[in-house]
Each structure stands twice: as C-alpha cells, then as structure tokens.
Amino acid sequence: MAEILTEEERAALLPALEATGWRAAPDGDALRKVWKFRSFSQAWGFMARAALEAEKMDHHPDWRNSYNVVDIRLTTHSCGGLSVLDTELANCLDAIETEAEIMLDLSRPIACLCAEKAAAAAPEPPPEG
C-alpha cells in the first residue's frame, strides 16, 4: 500500500512539479493542474494518452473535461493523501507533448472555448441614452 509523502519527500519532489504548473489542491492533500487546449480534439487526445499512462501505473487521476479544458487532481485514495504514485503520474502527464496553455491562476473560473465563443457572439447591448 502507498504511504503519504513525508515532509522531506514533499520538499524534494514538489518544487519541480510546481515549476511545471502543478498546484496544491484547495480541497485535501492533492495536486491539481489545468490544461487549456486549442480544441476539444486536442483535449481528448491528451486525455487518451493520459489514460494509457494511468492504466500502466494502475493509478488513476480524478479529472474533469469541459470542451477544451482538462482539469486533473491527483491524490492516492488508499492512503488518504499525496504519495509517490501521484508525483510519478504527474511527471508522466508532464511528459505528454501538448501545445496547451497551463492555467496557473486556479483561483478564478477558467472559461472553456465554447463559453468564450458564446460570449464573443453575444449581441452588444444598445447604447444608453
């Protein structure tokens, strides 16, 4: 069974992941990273490759996909927090080549491409006066 990372392991492993865009998740002992792709197809392709890596490791992420945005949260459920499995999977996911934008400010909502297109197509309100 996996064990929660020690403080020494965290100090050794987490700074390199933070440099690639991984952040502490606000809800529990977990890592989170958000990729914003140019299209749904690119997002789906990344998820397919990520799924293959996760299957090889027998360690699966919690993730959410909204059109061109992929939001991944890593934690090890069997030990109730971050383990070496999470850092290894994070490194595998980082090795998947993408042209995605890494969203570093996770404190605000991230609009997917369909929301951006809808906002751009919305009619402008009539001028006042």
The two most distant CA atoms of the chain are separated, in Å, by 69
- Residue 120 is predicted with a pLDDT of 75
pLDDT (tens digit per residue) in 13-67: 999 999 999 999 988 899 999 999 999 999 999 999 999 999 999 999 999 999 9
Q: How far apart are CA 129 and CA 122, in angstroms?
A: 21
Q: Which residues contact 48 (CB under 8 A, 6 or more apart)?
A: none
Structural element, H or E, at residue 109? none
Q: Which band of pLDDT confidence, cut at 50, 70 and 90, is reported for residue 121?
A: confident
Evaluate whether 2 touches 85 at the Cβ level (below 8 Å): yes
* Range with the poorest average pLDDT among 7-11, 22-26, 67-71: 22-26
| Per-residue pLDDT, 129 | 63
Look at residue 114 in the predicted model and tell me its pLDDT: 78
- Three-state DSSP string of 26-68: CCCCCEEEEEECCCHHHHHHHHHHHHHHHHHHCCCCEEEEECC
Amino acid at 80: G
- What pLDDT score was predicted for residue 126? 74
Q: Which domains does the chain have, with CATH numbers?
A: 25-115 (3.30.1360.20)
Mean pLDDT of the chain: 91
